[in-house]
Structure 1
Amino acid sequence: MSHNTILTALFLVIPATSLADEPVSLQTIQHQWAKCQYDTFNYDNKISCLQNNISLNQQALAKQPDRTDLKVWLAINKSTLAGADGGLSALSLVKESKILLEDVIQNDPKVLDGSAFTSLGSLYYQVPGWPISFGDDDQAEALLKQALAINPNGIDPNYFYGDFLARNGRKSEAITFLKKAQHAAPRPGRPLADKGRQQEIATKLKELQ
């Protein structure tokens, strides 16, 4: 399996300048991620889009280093870039994401409705196992279940657990969680992300049914 296919791409060019004295908001980072992930179809543009969003995310975090929500999103941006870019750089990016998410789980596990558990769990089942990387299905399932315990009706924890189950041949269970994700309430201020995720859910359900 090539490095280009080891990760699912979790995850419109960002303006190059921003007000230097004002940190970029979390909402801006989330919105730009959705544009990179779902509105940018040219390979080079997507890579550049994600790289720019990582830079904005890092700048915001440098000005507000205690913001665990920004750490979660830096991990999401880096792991999304790993999935889009592939190659040798992907493994270092997912390891960096893992470190960020573990730090959040240790210090603020419920931030963003437990998104750190969802993101780290998804990494554990999508990356290769030892000796190439840290992939581990048992660890993935444990983390995804912790995410669901915090946010049982959320679109992302149900989607990623459903995807995990599908990849492990647990078809009926996968359908249950994917349908629950399909009926999740819209997230305020994130219509593009919800639309893209719903398209992914519909595609997976079609494959399973």
Structure 2
Amino acid sequence: MKIHFVLATLLAVAVPTAATAGMPEEVKSINDNWARISYQMNGSSHQTTALDQLARQADQVVARYPKQAEPLLWQGIVVSEQANRANIFHKLGLATRARDILTRAYAINPRAGNGGVAMSLGVLYYKVPGSPIGFGDDARARQLLQQALALDPDGLDANYFWGDFLYDQGDTAGAKAALAKALRAPHDPDRPVWDTGRRREVQGLLKKIG
């Protein structure tokens, strides 16, 4: 079944106002814990348990900042990761919940996360099967991924997922070019676990393409 999600995004939260002063730190905590679970934790059962705990943390942050897109973005990413690791009977339900969460974030601010909301939605749309099984839509995925790329043209994630989408569509030349550009993205010293893990995935996909 065509459902596989790895949705780390670039976190680019605006300077907080007094009303949301704690939000960037709380969102970054979810971000950092996601990276630790995804790239450093061994054992699928440990990862599943940790993701369940992280999902509850994300729910709490969303409840504190219900009108902000960034907490919803990371809540959607965590639920997507849960879908990735769920059994066949729960994958689509979790994927649909992730889509709905990210759609809410997109409605609040389609530019949120430096294009991360658009990108994360786009990934769901090309990773999930289309009708009648699921909600997958390659045309919608392309539109969203291109929007994310326009917002972050030199970004590691934006180019990685664009390259992965092109490979999925059979455009190996375009995929290689996008992935090579992803590896040229500046390193992020504030998110070293994600940065290292994502570059390893880019290199793995390039090796797979040949």
The answer for the alignment partner of 1:59 in structure 2 is 60
> Contact 2:5–2:83 (CA<8 Å) still a contact in 1?
no
CA displacement at 1:55 relative to structure 2: 0.6
CA displacement at 1:86 relative to structure 2: 3.3
1:54-103 Cα deviation digits (max 9, x unpaired): 11111111122122100000000000110112322211111111112112
Task: Identify the structure with bigger relative contact order (alpha carbons < 8 Å, sequence gap 6+).
Answer: 2
Give the count of matched residue pairs.
Answer: 196
Equivalent AA in structure 1 for residue 125 of structure 2: Y
For 1:88 and 1:184, locate their aligned partners in 2 and report how far apart those are by CA, in whole Å: 38
Equivalent AA in structure 1 for residue 148 of structure 2: A
For 2:69 and 2:5, locate their aligned partners in 1 and report how far apart those are by CA, in whole Å: 24
For 1:207 and 1:90, locate their aligned partners in 2 and report how far apart those are by CA, in whole Å: 25
Residues 96, 88 of structure 1: alpha-carbon distance in 2 compared, 3 angstrom cutoff:
same
Within a 5 Å distance, the mapping from 1:44-55 to structure 2 comes to: 44-55=45-56
Which stretch of the first structure deviates more once superposed, 186-195 or 47-56? 186-195
1:116 has 2:117 as partner: yes
For 1:149 and 1:105, locate their aligned partners in 2 and report how far apart those are by CA, in whole Å: 16
CA displacement at 1:9 relative to structure 2: 4.1
The answer for the alignment partner of 1:36 in structure 2 is 37
1:6 has 2:15 as partner: no
For 1:33 and 1:135, locate their aligned partners in 2 and report how far apart those are by CA, in whole Å: 24
The ranges of structure 1 where at least 4 consecutive aligned residues each deviate by more than 2 angstroms after the TM superposition are 8-11
Identity among equivalent pairs (%): 34
For 1:145 and 1:103, locate their aligned partners in 2 and report how far apart those are by CA, in whole Å: 20
For 2:134 and 2:181, locate their aligned partners in 1 and report how far apart those are by CA, in whole Å: 31
Residues 10, 103 of structure 1: alpha-carbon distance in 2 compared, 3 angstrom cutoff:
closer
For 1:190 and 1:63, locate their aligned partners in 2 and report how far apart those are by CA, in whole Å: 24
Residues 185, 168 of structure 1: alpha-carbon distance in 2 compared, 3 angstrom cutoff:
same
Equivalent AA in structure 2 for residue 52 of structure 1: Q
TM-score (norm 1): 0.88
For 1:141 and 1:77, locate their aligned partners in 2 and report how far apart those are by CA, in whole Å: 22
Equivalent AA in structure 2 for residue 165 of structure 1: L
The answer for the alignment partner of 1:204 in structure 2 is 205
> Contact 1:117–1:147 (CA<8 Å) still a contact in 2?
yes
CA displacement at 1:188 relative to structure 2: 4.6
Equivalent AA in structure 1 for residue 175 of structure 2: A
Give 3-state SS (helix, strand or coil) of 2:136's partner: coil
Unaligned runs of 5+ in 2: 9-21
The answer for the alignment partner of 1:16 in structure 2 is none
For 1:176 and 1:158, locate their aligned partners in 2 and report how far apart those are by CA, in whole Å: 9
Give 3-state SS (helix, strand or coil) of 1:47's partner: helix
The answer for the alignment partner of 2:79 in structure 1 is 78
TM-score (norm 2): 0.88
For 2:6 and 2:88, locate their aligned partners in 1 and report how far apart those are by CA, in whole Å: 13
Give 3-state SS (helix, strand or coil) of 1:152's partner: coil
Which stretch of the first structure deviates more once superposed, 117-126 or 182-191? 182-191
Q: CA RMSD in A?
A: 1.6
The answer for the alignment partner of 1:157 in structure 2 is 158
For 1:195 and 1:86, locate their aligned partners in 2 and report how far apart those are by CA, in whole Å: 28
